[in-house]
Chains A and B, each alone.
Chain A
Amino acid sequence: MSGGTELTRLSAAALADKLTAKEVSSVEVTQAHLDRIADVDHAIHAFLQVSGDAALAAAADVDARRAAGEELHALAGVPIAVKDVVVTKGLETTAGSKILKGWIPPYDATLVERLKAAGLPILGKTNMDEFAMGSSTEHSAYGNTHNPWDLDRIPGGSGGGSAAAVAAYEAPLAIGTDTGGSIRQPAAVTGTVGVKPTYGGVSRYGLIALASSLDQAGPVTRTVLDSALLHELIGGHDPRDSTSIDEPLPALVAAARQGANGDLSGVRVGVIRELQGEGYQPGVLARFEESLELLRGAGAEIVEVSCPHFTYALAAYYLILPAEASSNLAKFDGMRFGLRVVPEDNPTAERVMSATRGQGFGDEVKRRIILGTYALSAGYYDAYYGSAQKVRTLIQRDFTAAFETADVLVSPTAPTTAFKLGEKLDDPLAMYLNDVATIPANLAGVPGLSLPSGLSDDGLPVGFQVLAPAKADDRLYRVGAALEALLENEWGGPLLLKAPELATELEAGK
């Protein structure tokens, strides 16, 4: 194993320590990851764009600042991958859609500004389902991303690119976005860690909106501590996002460090009755039960809670999301940016818009735009969008009640392990069902974390989900880090060590 390969296996926290100690430079770390991308991304296809030159320039800048004795952010010099739904100034941003092919944003998302200000070189943009609509990344207009555990399987979605990049050691850190599970479900099926912060906890300014009231950006990493470090960096109030919470973040890194000592005495862990049983793989449930035992052993009190309205969450979600998306995606019309398709005869503005949207959007996007347009139509609004909002209120109440008896709630992150590419592509409802356990958090705005809890009978990773009350994201990190420490103690190291080694470009060429 070369020195560069060793660097890519380190956690972000470990890399940060080495950078701070000047044992390694950011240019070396960044180059190691660019080399890894060059080696394995032909097989994974996690990246839509690799911005090597810009990343190395940013790395050199951070090295110079460190050499000059400047005080730097803890993660300064640690490279990162960014989901392509986040706008990056000067770097093509497509949201996985043909309609934005070639679009170079003139501005940075707030979270990207924060990454740049803290000196994190941006390696590139990661693949995703078009406009974040999907659970497999198969709806990307730019081809599938492959699960590093089994290249014939999906990496989850919509943020399959970010999760796969981190799982394949192409990046130590990545940014994801989670509207109904797009950070947590890919984390679960790739054996990585993903966090959806409290709604309003991370600025949405510069996130290409899918469903404004549900979208939230968050960390995609290999360890719970790394997520906490990244979350603290990108989180916090932003006056450019009206829904941003104007309060300081809780101490997330401290909570993760506290949790890592493995003591959960006095912590009440609520098991959600409705998020297990039918539809969940036996292996998924078995790993879940084992994790509960570990938590119990660490001193946590395990209680069962009922959230009766979660049964309606999926239905409500698939009305609210398409409704908001149908309006959010109206701006893609070929008039101001992105693709423009001009029909040959009589190219009026209306016909250009129609042709552009017809050719620029994929089937899943069209499906949801049609659904949402219908749900908002006069005469149907109350029955669909109105009712869905009522369900949303009931789900919020379920959470409030549950958090009276438990400090955190837990469930399997996804009902199954990674399915095969193509397996559910023709069955949208089966695909939608994959998010059944992650969606309630988005509807209620509460934070959620997924961490690996072992391998199912099929040898594929299983995710364990922790949910906390709004603005109590620190609880995710305490419980998550504790469980991670207990599990890794059992496994003798991170779960990803059990993943097959990927053939490198060199080997592939043999």
Chain B
Amino acid sequence: MSTLVDYDDAVERYDTVIGIEVHVELGTRTKMFDGAPAGFGEEPNTSITPVSLGLPGSLPVVNGLAVEYAIRIGLALNCSIAQTCRFARKNYFYPDVPKNFQTSQYDEPIAYEGWVDVELDDGSIFRVEIERAHMEEDAGKNTHIGGSDGRIHGAEYSLVDYNRAGIPLVEIVTKPITGAGARAPEVARAYVQTLRDLFRALEVSEARMERGNVRADVNVSIRPTPGSPLGTRTETKNVNSFRSVERAVRYEVSRQAGVLDDGVAIIQETRHWHEDTGTTASGRVKSDAEDYRYFPEPDLVPIAPDRAWIEEIRARLPELPAARRRRLQGEWQYADAEMRDVVNAGAVELIETTIAAGASPAAARKWWMGELARTAKQQEVELADLPVTPTQVGQLQKLVDDGRINDKLARQVLEGVLAGEGDPETVLVARGLEVVSDDGPLLEAIDAALAAQPDIAEKIRSGNLGPVGAIIGAVMKATRGQADAGRVRELLLERIAQ
């Protein structure tokens, strides 16, 4: 076995070409070809009908909403929508495929020839060309019992759950992505991320990577120079997180460079991604892959979407993530780098809602990208999964804006909210953190501080405002931080002027 080549070294000597197939499970209520619920997490083999089990005599009927969702995806990816297209049978025997063929689309996809712009970490835009987007059905799920790590190898027996069988999928296939060079892993990750955001914005899927709603197969090949013919590619299957997409491409580049350096040819094959080790392993060799014997599905009639309907769908498309980000950045007046951080942190919606709850864009960003981002990082959770709502953050900021608490107290209130003590107002009252806004106690404290530090008092009275901080600090200390430092300063200056 060849050794891995250091990535930086590999990309210096080889040009990387990638191609990505993304499967997204559509969030329709029922399956692609029957009325069984397309749910998640149900008891095994309960979300089924004779159709999803492929029982003898059962027939498929196309889910109209799934077709609409597929068209939505196609339009958002700037694709042409087919005048007419057919389903085809992809024939292969496997226990999780109830009919032993998958109903898919072959040479007549619903959407073809499009593109999507992908924003990279440095803010630059990379355009990915889309070959096609087609509809198909998901397979069931095998669980292998008795072997190591749930793999089929060495298992005593396997269980099949057909709940997932027949869930509508759209598969999006890119053209070969060239010109990314060393940044190919990043482009791959950003592309999948862009699609995920798109699916959510289009409301066609919950697009939760951890549930397998979005799955990526990554094709990688390398060649000596960008002008060379394409190298032999490998296809790494089921890479199911953004980070893994990036790592899988990186690993394959290093691995393939090692093989080529040894003067050995790359084998065209399917490889499996191992999350734990961050490596890919050889799977099925493509040259003896099955012949799927595709032919048009005779149980279904062609789909010929009405042009007027397509235009109606186009007109109803929501604002897409990239356009929305541009608009919000303008409205919020964030710098490019600030906006990018917000996007990368997944905080766009959170900040938007916080602003809607009354906070200024700057304040909203300060909370989410500051205190809350730190907390999320400490707790190793996503920002959105913190036990605080954007509305609560908005309420918190309003308390600050109204002068009822200062920043320091606000952090304590937030702590209470995160600890589940209730809304900011509730925490504030319960913890007795309200800013002392009554001037009486403040004046008493100022007088006491001036009396305690006569030297400083004298300097201030003589017009040297340098040491006012010392008096203010003493007042803050006396009021346990619950005073508004600005108000203390005002009162202090008035007192001295008297």
Per-residue contact bits, chain B 83-112, to A (CB 8 Å; 1 contact, 0 not): 000000101011100111100000000000
Residues of chain A with a CB closer than 8 A to B98's CB: 331, 336
CB of A333 within 8 Å of the partner chain: yes
Q: Is the CB of A240 within 8 A of B59?
A: yes
Asked if A381 and B91 make an inter-chain contact with CB atoms under 8 angstroms apart, the answer reads no
Partner of B93, one of A93, A106, A324, A353: A353
The interface bits of chain A over 229-258 (1 if a CB of B lies within 8 angstroms of the residue's CB, else 0) are: 000000000011111000000000000000
**Which of A202-210, A264-272, A461-469 touches B?**
A202-210
In the complex, whether B123 has a CB less than 8 A from a CB of chain A is no
In the complex the two chains form, what is the Cα distance from A247 to B291 in whole Å?
Answer: 39
A236 CA to B48 CA, complexed, in Å: 27
Cβ A205 vs Cβ B91 within 8 A: no
Check A208 against B57 for contact (C-beta < 8 Å).
Answer: yes
Least Cβ–Cβ distance between A18 and chain B, in angstroms: 34
Subset of 30 A-B contacts with CB under 8 Å: A87-B57, A106-B50, A106-B55, A109-B57, A205-B57, A205-B59, A209-B56, A211-B298, A212-B299, A239-B61, A240-B59, A240-B61, A242-B301, A243-B299, A243-B301, A323-B295, A324-B298, A327-B91, A330-B91, A331-B54, A331-B98, A333-B93, A333-B95, A335-B95, A336-B53, A349-B94, A373-B293, A376-B294, A378-B291, A385-B295
B369 is an interface residue with CB less than 8 A from chain A: no
Q: Give CA–CA (A376, B295) in the complex, Å.
A: 7
Other A-B contacts than A106-B55, A336-B54, 6 sampled, CB-CB below 8 A, are A106-B50, A107-B50, A109-B57, A330-B93, A330-B99, A349-B158
Contact A381/B295 with A242-B300, A331-B56 known, Cβ cut-off 8 Å? yes
> Please, what's the 1-or-0 string for B47-70, where 1 marks a CB less than 8 Å from any CB in chain A?
000100111111111100000000
Given A327-B91, A331-B99, A335-B160, A242 and B57 contact (CB-CB distance below 8 Å) = no
Which of the listed residues B54, B59, B291, B299 has the most CB atoms from chain A within 10 Å of its own CB?
Answer: B59
Residue of A nearest to B99 (CB): A331
Give me the interface of B with A, judged by CB distance under 8 Å.
50, 53-62, 89, 91, 93-95, 98-101, 158, 160, 291, 293-295, 298-301
Report chain B residues within 8 Å CB of A242: 59-62, 299-301
A327 B89 Cβ-Cβ under 8 A: yes
Select the residue from B89, B160, B293 with max chain A CB neighbours within 10 A: B293
Nearest B-chain residue to A213, judged by Cβ: B298
The 9 A-B residue pairs with the shortest CB-CB distance in the complex, in nearest-first order: A330-B100, A212-B298, A376-B293, A213-B298, A206-B57, A87-B57, A208-B56, A378-B291, A331-B99
Q: For the complex, what is the distance from the CA of A304 to the CA of B60, rounded to whole Å?
A: 42
Question: Is the CB of A105 closer than 8 A to any CB of chain B?
Answer: yes
Give Cα distance in the complex from A93 to B98, angstroms.
Answer: 19
Contacts of B300 in A (CB 8 A): 242-243
A95 within 8 A of B: yes
Q: Is A377 an interface residue (CB 8 A)?
A: yes
Q: Is there a chain B Cβ closer than 8 Å to A337's Cβ?
A: yes
A350 at the interface (CB under 8 A from B): yes
Task: Please measure, in the bound complex, the distance between the C-alpha atom of A331 and the C-alpha atom of B101, giving whole angstroms.
Answer: 8
Cα-based distance from A207 to B50 in the complex (angstroms):
13
Q: A242-B301, A243-B301, A349-B158 are in contact. Are A327 and B293 (CB under 8 A)?
A: yes
Cβ contacts A322-341/B at 8 Å (1 or 0 each): 01101100111101110000
Interface residues contributed by chain A, number (CB under 8 Å): 44
A103 to B, closest residue via Cβ = B56
Complex interface: chain B residues within 8 A of A103 (CB) = 56
- Tell me the minimal C-beta distance from A246 to chain B in angstroms: 11
Bound together, the chains give a CA A396 to CA B91 distance in angstroms of 28
Interface centre among B56, B91, B99, B298 (most CB of A within 10 A): B56
Docked CA distance A239–B64 (Å): 13
Q: Which of A207, A330, A333 lies in contact with B57, CB distance below 8 A?
A: A207
- Least CB distance from B51 to A in Å reads 9
CB distance from B145 to the nearest CB of A (A): 13
Residue of B nearest to A99 (CB): B56
Q: In the docked arrangement, what's the CA distance between A355 and B50, Å?
A: 25
In the complex, whether A451 has a CB less than 8 A from a CB of chain B is no
* A100 close to B (CB within 8 Å): yes
Which A residues, 180 to 236, have Cβ-Cβ distances below 8 Å to chain B?
Answer: 204-209, 211-213
* Inter-chain contacts of B101 with A (CB < 8 A): 327, 330
Query: Given the complex, which residues of B lie within 8 Å of A350, measured CB to CB?
Result: 93
Question: Closest chain B residue to A241 by CB distance?
Answer: B59
CB distance from A101 to the nearest CB of B (A): 13
Q: Are B58 and A205 in contact (CB under 8 A)?
A: yes
Is the beta-carbon distance between B291 and A209 smaller than 8 angstroms?
A: no
Docked-complex contact A327 and B295, CB < 8 angstroms: yes
Q: Which residues in A have their C-beta under 8 angstroms from that of B99? A: 330-331
- Give Cα A337 to B50, complex, Å: 11
Across-interface contacts of B61 in A (CB, < 8 A):
239-242
Docked Cα-Cα span, A105 to B58, in Å, equals: 11
Give Cα distance in the complex from A350 to B158, angstroms.
12
Assess A377 versus B57: contact at CB under 8 Å? Given A212-B298, A333-B93, A336-B98.
Answer: no
Report which of A93, A105, A206, A333 forms a contact with B100, defined as CB distance below 8 A. A333
Closest-CB distance, B314 to chain A (whole angstroms): 26
Q: Which residues of A contact B53 (CB under 8 A)?
A: 336
Contacts of B299 in A (CB 8 A): 209, 212, 242-243
Measured CB to CB, the closest approach of chain B to A374, in angstroms, equals 10
Shortest Cβ distance from residue B54 to the other chain A in the assembled complex, whole angstroms: 5
How far apart are A333's CB and chain B's nearest CB, in angstroms? Answer: 6
> Once the chains bind, are B295 and A377 in contact (CB under 8 Å)?
no
Q: How far is the CB of A141 from chain B (nearest CB, A)?
A: 15
Residues of B within 8 A of A330 (CB): 91, 93, 99-101
Chain A residues in 8 Å Cβ range of B294: 376
Residue-by-residue, is A102-113 near B (CB-CB < 8 Å gives 1, otherwise 0)?
Answer: 010111010000
Minimal beta-carbon separation of B216 from chain A (angstroms): 27
Contacting residues, chain B, for A239 (C-beta < 8 A):
61
CB pair B57 A331 closer than 8 Å: no
Neighbouring A residues of B291 by C-beta, 8 Å? 377-378
Q: How far is the CB of A350 from chain B (nearest CB, A)?
A: 7
Q: A213: which B residues are within 8 A, CB to CB? A: 298
Q: Which residues of B contact A332 (CB under 8 A)?
A: 56
- Cβ–Cβ < 8 Å partners of B160 in chain A: 335
CB distance from A253 to the nearest CB of B (A): 28
Contact status B56-A100, CB under 8 Å = yes
A137 → chain B closest CB, angstroms: 20
Chain A residues with CB under 8 Å of B59's CB are 204-205, 240-242
A240 to chain B, nearest CB (A): 6
Complex: A373 Cα to B91 Cα, angstroms: 10
CA separation between A256 and B284, bound complex, in Å? 62
A270 to B54, CA, bound (A): 43
- Complex alpha-carbon distance, A332 and B294, angstroms: 19
Min Cβ gap B41→A in Å is 22
B91 touches A376 (CB 8 A): yes
Known contacts A212-B298, A242-B299, A373-B293; decide if A331 and B100 are in contact (CB<8 Å).
yes
A41 to chain B, nearest CB (A): 25
Q: How many angstroms from the CA of A263 to the CA of B346 in the assembled complex? A: 80
Q: How long is the Cα–Cα vector from A333 to B93 in the complex, in angstroms?
A: 9
Nearest CB of B to A328, in Å: 8
Q: In the complex the two chains form, what is the Cα distance from A53 to B60 in whole Å?
A: 33
Question: Inside 8 A of B91's CB, which chain A residues have their CB?
Answer: 326-327, 330, 376
Provide the residues of chain A in CB contact with B89, threshold 8 Å.
327
Taking each of A86, A331, A332, A353, which has the highest tally of chain B beta carbons within 10 Å of its own beta carbon?
A331
Q: Chain B residues near A206 (CB, 8 Å)?
A: 57-58
Cβ-defined contact, B293 with A209, below 8 A:
no
Interface residues of A in 56-114 (CB under 8 A from B): 86-87, 93, 95, 100, 103, 105-107, 109
CB-based nearest B residue for A207: B57
Query: Chain A 262-301, CB within 8 Å of chain B: the 1/0 string?
Result: 0000000000000000000000000000000000000000
Chain A, residue nearest B292 (CB): A378
Q: Which of A103-149 contact B (CB under 8 A)?
A: 103, 105-107, 109
Alpha-carbon distance A184/B94, docked complex (angstroms): 38
Q: A241: which B residues are within 8 A, CB to CB?
A: 59, 61
- The residues of A that contact B57 with a CB separation of less than 8 Å are 86-87, 105, 107, 109, 205-209
